[in-house]
Homo-oligomer: A and B are copies of this chain.
Amino acid sequence: MASCPAAQDGYDPRSFPPFAVTVDLVVLTIHDGALSVLLVERGVEPFAGRLALPGGFVQPDESVDDAARRELAEETGVELARNDAGGLQQLATYGAPDRDPRMRVVSVAHVALVADLPPARAGSDAAAVSLVDVAGALRRRLAFDHRTILRDGIEHVRRQLEHTSLATRFCAAEFTLGELRSVYEAVWGTELDVANFRRKVLASQVVEPIAGTQSTPGPSGGRPAQLYRATSSMPTEIDPPFRRPR
């Protein structure tokens, strides 16, 4: 069952099985205190009427990562720099032969972490786009293998919050430690001790206070909080890791 010499040495440019390559996006954000995912409603068969992850073809002249960035901008209006490794990350590639009933499609799934979505996207059918909390989305029947992709993407982000500074991606440029804590609680679905959270985050050096700034308390009162910013726009490995409770 050894491969022929041509296949072993390289690729024969004239005879290869043609595939379509797409990118699918798991766009996550915190909405109403819940980790939520951006889904679009399909208008055509197969899976017409079903919710699906946004995505599209990789074009002949762009890299797979560029295609993901382009699709993110088209679907959400979020523009990311090419060297911004944090907001959009490759998740995994899904390549079962029957995952699209019409043709052979290999999809490179990505996960995007966004702070908040621009209210409307010009040139796009806004009615077909919705934010669904992930628990509800996982209970639904999604198009293609998008339920599997979504599950993997959520687990990926939950792990990443333990080891990197990526939680600040869900926050605006300036945030309080309470807001940052609510990100962890929404993603992990747990409650965190306020005092211990503060100590760990400050020790990890991923945030720095903005001198002379304070939050304004909500309508129900409360002491105003110091505002912080992320020390780096790049995702940083945090040491010691920030383990989620079990």
Contacts and interface: CB of A to CB of B under 8 A. Distances in A.
A9 interface: yes
Say whether chain A's binding surface is mostly helix, strand, loop, or mixed: loop
Contacts of A59: 17
Given A1-B123, A65-B95, A74-B1, A19 B22 contact: no
Residue from A9, A46, A96 whose CB has the most chain B CB atoms within 10 Å: A9
Count the copies.
2
Contact of A58 (B19, B44, B64, B65): B19
A242 interface: no
Interface stretch (A103-111, A195-203, A213-221): A103-111
A193 interface: no
A232 interface: no
A10 interface: yes
A73 to B, nearest CB: 7
